[in-house]
Structure formats: structure tokens, C-alpha cells
Structure 1
Amino acid sequence: MLHKISNTRFTGHGPIKILYPGLEISKEDTGIGSIGRIDHPEIHGKTVIKMHPHINDEILSYFRTGTAEHSDSEGFVKTIGKRTLMLMKAGKMFQHEEKIFGDKEPMEGLQIFIRPGEKDLKPEVVFLELDEIHSENKWRLLASPNVETDFQFSSQTWLYDARLLEENTLLLPDLAIQGLTLLLYVFKGNIIVNSDLNLEKKDSLLIKDENVIIKANQDSELVLFVTDESAEVFKEGMYSGNKL
């Protein structure tokens, strides 16, 4: 199954656009498996998002331009950006603040809200320093449920990214075609899937039981979400939870 989710499905009137991917295919769940919500902020200028709580969310901050200073109730203070990613595992209660420095270049990226495997886990903050900003023409595994990655989700969820250069092609990772559900997100650029399905910036593609060929019409940045819909997740997180 291939199902395109148009960029028109985003909601929000400010600089942060919000996608509930489940709304495209279901009247029962705003998420898909462990993928609860995807935010795509584009913030110009200096902005402070004051201290606010998260409960039972696992939030991966994936910024591609600009920087932000993160501080939280666990005592961490860290500047994050295109080389430094962050995973906040909120658990029972977690609060954080972000000071965004978008005056030199706009802050653009994703805040990815993943559902935890169970309720009220211990809060944890993990940072990942990337050796390279981009992974060109090949998938890079950023997060998984396993110790093979620095970022570990508590649910059966995997996250990849890739920068696909113009005229190059890419297949799905081997793991991603083993009976799991995939959501391919175009962060930047324009691609064509299986020679006839065009996706541009902020479009996404739901993939089940299909092995696809992705070709870049121009240099493109892609994010691939993989979830096991049969696995247990907690669907009542503050932001990642079901909103129906």
C-alpha cells in the first residue's frame, strides 16, 4: 500500500506546522502506531518558548538550520542544531524551555513526538553529536529501540535520514520492508517514487508491504519513520497521544 499525505494536511497558523499522520487514514487514531505527531517549525528571529511540561512523550529534536538553547527540569543546558540532535524522554513529568536563535539564519527542523512503549517511564535527555551533517545517498539510522543507536526509543520505532542528490536513487532500508509500517517525509526538495508518484517539501508517503524506488528530481532531504503497529504503545501522551 502507498498512500500520499499532502503538505496541505498540516495544521497551525503560526511558524510551527503540525501533522497528525493518522488523520489521513483513520477516524480512530491521530497517530500511526508509535508515530504520534510531527511538528515542522520555521522560526525567524529570536524566540523564547518558555518552560512547559511534557508527559509521556518521547521528543526528538531534528533541526537542520539555526540553533536553540535547551534547558530543562533535569538540569541540562545545551545548544542544539544541525550537528547536535536531542531526544527528550519525558516519562511521568518533564519540563523544558527553548531559546531559539533564528536571527542569523531561520531555525527550521522537525520536532518528532513518538509514543512511549509504556506509561510513566523515567525522564531522560540524550544528545547526539553527528560526525556529518548529512548522509548523502544512503540511509543513516539515527534512533531505534536497540542499543545499536545512541538514541533509543522505548517503543518499536526506527528513524532514518538521508540527503538524496539530484538524479540519484535510493531503496528502503532492509529492516523497513519486514512487515513494518513506514512514513517517508520530504523535509526539503522534490522526489519521485516508483516513477510516477511525486512528493515535494512537507509531503509524506505511507508505505506498507511495498518496496519502492526513490529518485531525486533535485537535491532532497528525507526522513523515514518506521513503526511496528502490532507492538504496545501508550497512546495518551500529552502531545504524542491520540487527540480524537
Structure 2
Amino acid sequence: MKTIIHKAETRGHANHGWLDSHHTFSFANYYDPERVHFGTLRVLNDDIVEGGMGFGKHPHDNMEIISIPLSGDLEHKDSMGNTAVIRENDVQVMSAGTGIFHSEYNKNKDSKVNFLQIWVFPKERNIKPRYDQKTYDPKDRTNRFQTVVSPTDPEAVSINQDAYFSLGNFTSGQKTNYKISSPENGAYFFLLEGKIKIGQETLEKRDGIGIWDASTLEIEILEDAEILVMDVPMKN
């Protein structure tokens, strides 16, 4: 088993006033040659956007872009004609493919929105751009992992990659397991809340750990915890 750990305080940080962003991997003006990507997981940004502010229209191509709101409401518009608001318990995937333009704004003027912006390298390049969004019941991830992104599961939002994202809310004092989807994949655990232990490593809020060359992983819940697992191919 191989591991790499990223403590919350070691992340890149940029505060633009309207946007307060922490970068697990190299992004924009933050560059660390040791933290460019984890397999096909390229970007993991923890973004807080002030009321009424946001990202103006900008282009993407050949990237799978996943947005997971943690609090607040994010309004999305794109060149495919989609207009939607994504909220807590929603997950959105956009396959940029041959190229799209989109914008993302905080829907509310009087409160912040906190969301994860995640980029994954695609399995197939230059596909027709595609948009998918679903709402999940958090009760379905109480003390277990709920798959929210998958290339094959009809209950999950679809992605153009052999990648599987799962969310779980666990109560303190128990142990649980996560089985990595295939020998070619690794799992990156991002702790949204709480405190857990995986192997010899203890993780606290916003810490991340990548694990590969492993199969089934045991997780000890030290404090009530909310966990995001990104199960991705290690070669892109």
C-alpha cells in the first residue's frame, strides 16, 4: 500500500476578496511540483464565494468538472443552454469535451456559498460536451458510503472516466471499510468534517490522503465524520 497525505494547512490558498479558495493540488498561481495531481484527479478546490459574486463566463475543454456544494446555492449557466441552481446534497458533472463556456455565481446576495470544484482527466477526449446533475438524500449515506459519481451506476451522475465518487456520514466510535474499485485505481479521501484514522494516519477537517496499490481499506471514525472518496485511475 502506498500513501500520500495532504494536511489542510499545507494547501495552496488564494483570497481574492469575492473568492476564498484552498487548493489541494497545483492551481492558478499556486504551484507545487509534488502536488500536481493524484492519478486522474487533477484539481480539488475548496471555494467560498461571497454573496452575489462568482466566476464569469470562461472556457473549458477535455476535462470532467464536478461541483459539490457544501452550503449555499450556486447558479450555473453554460453554452449548451443549461441554467440550474445546485445546492447542498446536489452533485453536478460537466464533461467539457470538445469545448464549452460556463459561469458560476452565488445565487444569494446575503450569504456565502461553499463548494468543491473538482477536475478529473477524461477517459475519452473530444467527446460531445455533456451536463448532468442529481440530488441525493443524505439519509442514504448515514454510516455508509453513497456513490454519487460513476461511469456505470444509473443512480449516480455519469462521468467520462473510470472514476467513482462516494460520500459518507459516520458516527464516532465505529469502523467501516472502503474497497477500491479496481487494481488500476487509487482512492483519495477528503475529510469534510470530523476526525478519522486510515492505516497509521489520522485525518482532521479538510485533510486529504491518497492511497493506491491497495484493495480494502479500514477507516476508524474517531469523531463524527463526513467523508468524500474519489476513486480514480492512477494512470491518465
TM-score range, shorter chain: 0.7 to 0.9
Residue 47 of structure 2 aligns to a residue whose secondary structure is strand
Question: In structure 1, which of residues 8, 16, 25 is the aligned counterpart of residue 21 of structure 2?
Answer: 16
Residues 151-193 of structure 1, C-alpha deviations (whole Å, 9 max, x = no match): 22212211111111222221113x4464521111111222122
Report Cα offsets for 1:46-86 as digits up to 9, x if no partner: 31321111111111111121001111111111110113221
Name structure 2 gaps, 5 residues minimum: 27-31
Which one of the candidate residues 188, 192, 197 is aligned to 1:187?
A: 192
Q: CA deviation at 1:216?
A: 2.2
Distance 1:72 1:3, change over 3 A: same
Query: 2:49: which partner in 1?
Result: 43
The residue correspondences of 1:39-188 to structure 2 (distance < 5 A) are 39-101=45-107, 105-132=111-138, 135-173=141-179, 175-176=180-181, 178-188=183-193
Stretches (4+) displaced over 6 A: none
> More relative contact order in 1 or in 2 (CA 8 Å, sep 6+)?
1
Cα–Cα, structure 1 residues 199 and 134, in superposed 2: closer, same or farther, change >3 Å? farther
Identity %: 20
Q: Please state whether the residue corresponding to 2:226 is helix, strand or coil.
A: strand
Q: CA RMSD in A?
A: 2.3
Q: CA deviation at 1:122?
A: 0.6
- SS state at 1:12 partner: strand
Equivalent residue, structure 1, for 2:204: 200
Q: TM-score, normalised by structure 2?
A: 0.85
Instruction: Specify every segment of 5 or more residues in structure 1 that has no aligned partner in the other structure, as ranges.
Output: 234-244
2:82 counterpart letter in structure 1: F
104 and 85 in structure 1: CA distance in 2 versus 1, 3 angstrom threshold: farther
- Could you tell me how far 1:37 is from its partner in structure 2? 0.9
